[in-house]
Amino acid sequence: MSRLIASVAAAAGLLASTSAWAVEISISCSALGKEYEICKQGTDAWAKKTGNTVKIVSTPNSATERLALFQQLLAAGAGDIDVFQIDVVWTGTLGNHLLDLTSKAQGVIGDHLPAMVETSRVEGKLMAVPWFADAGLLYYRKDLLDKYKRPVPQTWADLTETARLVQEGERKEGRNEFWGYTWQGRAYEGLTTNALEWIASNGGGTIVDEKGDVTIENPKAAEALKTAAGWVGTITPEGVLNYTEEEARGIFQAGNAVFMRNWPYAWALAQGADSSIKDKVGIAPLPKGGADGRHAGTLGGQLLAVSKYSKNADAATDLVLYLTSEAEQKRRAVEGAFNPTIVSLYSDADIARANPFIGDLVDVFSNAVARPATVTGQNYNKVSTEFFNAVHQVLSKRSEPAQALNRLDRDLKRIKRNGWQ
């Protein structure tokens, strides 16, 4: 009996000790699609392992609104959020407020996709750890392409024609809410990614080139914007001018569109048990601008970073390393179709069985077009804002493409002045 009492007392002492050390870590997780659910499963597992607790902070779906919130909190030196989920183009903008993780991650960072690691650095310091990779993809309805005997479109002209044909056919059968193509047209960062794909695929460059020169005012870019503006109200609902990722997915997953541009996260949801289009969906690279064009999905993805204002930086860093580990990235790929940033996982049999398309994305990531975030540094957000506002004016018929790009060229050169940094 005395031995049992001693064991109970020892266990109680251990629990008291653990409780005394335990801390609460707050993390911002996106709620796009299954992101919140998959994130919570990961943080719950870390909490169970360490004895700490985790609070998930809700953030806006719009990436632009989310960045504004993060900038406001960090500029005030607030410690409300310990771990931030940040876009690959925000590292330079937020870097002054983040903890340098170079020494903490030195044993694992070499396992990640080099392009993703590059987006995590500022002046050589690792200010975040890659979590998942993204690139814009074309989703299409296999059953409807079969029904109308149309191939997967290789150019934007092919897509436009097939979308028109299928939309007309479905509406003749009484489906008056059916559309050809849905995408992200709201004036926010998502429109920058869409429009960059149209322009880059058409040979119109990347807004600002690798040397830092503003290149956006050119005939190829104007042609690409004219094509996209022609979709609004014809094969794309006019409401697209206020669509983010989830509004676009809502139309497609309800079975009311033949094509959708979105990120890879939408695949697992389209294949969900409650999805009306389960097993009817295919994925392909986004179309080329023409015979001389190229497939050009915008490189995206998310990183995890620790606030330098965190009062529990060691525990917050441990959470980041846990969530970005090989085992956790594999779980996220299998259960949520999130693309790993750890290279070896692209040949993992369990991932291939659960989400066969992930193995094909290596080529998409290799051909992805990067936003000019590195070359414009702290000014990237201003560049992107001027760009998506100019594009939105064209899409909403308030400006002609050439006129909008001429003004954009002038405004970007004013921001640049004598240099971007």
Residue 200 in any domain: the answer is: yes
The answer on 246 and 183 residing in a single domain is yes
Residue 164 in any domain: the answer is: yes
Phi, psi of 54 (to 5 degrees): -130, 135
The answer on 240 and 178 residing in a single domain is yes
Spatial strand order of the sheet with 299-306 comes to 53-57, 24-28, 83-87, 299-306, 129-135
Confidence class for position 234, pLDDT limits 50, 70, 90: very high
The answer on 161 and 62 residing in a single domain is no
Residue 421's pLDDT is what?
Answer: 67
Which of 19-28, 47-56, 213-222 shows the lowest mean pLDDT across its residues? 19-28
> What's the rounded Cα separation, in Å, for the pair 332 and 268?
11
Residue 13 in any domain: the answer is: no
The answer on 28 and 146 residing in a single domain is no
Which tens digit of pLDDT belongs to each residue from 333-360?
A: 999 889 999 989 988 999 999 888 788 7
The answer on 210 and 72 residing in a single domain is no
The answer on 203 and 272 residing in a single domain is yes
The answer on 270 and 341 residing in a single domain is no
Which tens digit of pLDDT belongs to each residue from 362-405?
A: 778 767 888 988 788 889 989 999 999 999 999 999 999 999 99
Q: What is the mean pLDDT of residues 163-180?
A: 98
- ∠ CA 51-53-58, rounded to 5°: 160
Residue 16 in any domain: the answer is: no
Q: Is residue 201 within 8 Å of 270, Cβ to Cβ?
A: no
Rg (CA), the chain: 23
Residue 11's pLDDT is what?
Answer: 43
Residue 34's pLDDT is what?
Answer: 80
Average pLDDT, the chain: 91
pTM of the model: 0.79
Residue 2 in any domain: the answer is: no
Domain region containing 358: 24-135+300-367
The answer on 187 and 56 residing in a single domain is no
Q: What CATH number does the domain containing 294 carry?
A: 3.40.190.10
**Structural domain tally of the chain?**
2
Residue 129's pLDDT is what?
Answer: 97
The answer on 262 and 180 residing in a single domain is yes
Provide the percentage of residues in the chain whose pLDDT is more than 90: 72
The answer on 206 and 121 residing in a single domain is no
The answer on 385 and 396 residing in a single domain is yes
Residue 357's pLDDT is what?
Answer: 79
Residue 409 identity? D
The answer on 206 and 195 residing in a single domain is yes
**Nearest one of 46, 15, 14, 48 to 29, comparing CA atoms:** 46
